[in-house]
Structure 1
């Protein structure tokens, strides 16, 4: 045994390592490496809880698979009713969400324009184009007026054509 210990010391000297520490007291070694009371309490508490949750997860999985096996024939039988119903509900929800998104976008744009007209936030954008902000606003106002006039004229023309068509019959 002395030869083995000498061999280990020679090995550590050869590779430039310090000699390992040898503990002669096994009780001291066990006390240093043993888990603390808190760690033991955590394991004692969490091990049964983890096991119970794993059992519960297994039961839920089994119940889900049994429910799916029972309900699959019903889904196949009623699919001519369910598929269109799901598509209709999906399209309705998509329509409402899209409408809301466009409404919020429109309201925020109008709010920004009103705030810009009053000289609030966003006025610096007009100043960045070297004072041409007011001319852009005037052009936009003129465009809105022209478009409103055009739509009004078209509405009058359609109304007259409708009255003429009604008068002929």
Structure 2
């Protein structure tokens, strides 16, 4: 039964460094939460303000978005295929150079 006994560490008093760390971490967390709230509020206000423009220009924005998406997809596919080809060629070169 002595093997399964857990030794409880002695509770020590908090150090000044630990208290200071906790205070600074709390302040940082509160600051980041405030910053996130401001960002969310600003984004919502900007979205509400620009919504009429999106509605008016949607006949232009939707085809432009589709075209941009297709162009990006094509470039990403081409780049990925080129990178894959270069890695295969590099592997073949290293494989053929082995004795």
State the TM-score, normalized to the length of structure 1: 0.42
Indicate the residue corresponding to 1:58 in structure 2. Answer: 37
Q: Shift of residue 120 of structure 1?
A: 2.2
Counterpart check, 1:76 vs 2:55: yes
Q: Which residue of 2 aligns with 1:94?
A: 73
Go from structure 1 to structure 2 and tell me whether the alpha carbon gap of 1:121 and 1:75 turns closer, same or farther (over 3 Å shift): same
Deviation at 1:52, TM superposition (A): 2.1
Which has the larger Rg? 1
Residue segments in structure 2 that go unaligned for 5+ positions in a row: 1-10
C-alpha offsets along residues 99-119 of structure 1, whole Å, 9 cap, x if unaligned? Answer: 23333444555663xx5xxx9
Matched residue pairs, number? Answer: 87
Aligned to 1:67: 46
2:96 to 107, 120, 130: 120
1:9-158 to 2 correspondence within 5 Å? 34-107=13-86, 112=92, 115=93, 120-121=96-97
Deviation at 1:88, TM superposition (A): 0.8
Normalising by structure 2, report the TM-score.
Answer: 0.66
1:62 positional shift:
0.9
Distance 1:83 1:99 in 2: 24
Shift of 1:64: 1.0
After TM superposition, give the deviation of residue 91 of structure 1 in Å: 0.9
What's the C-alpha RMSD, in Å, of the aligned pairs? 2.8
For structure 1, the residue ranges without an aligned partner over 5 or more in a row are 1-31, 124-169
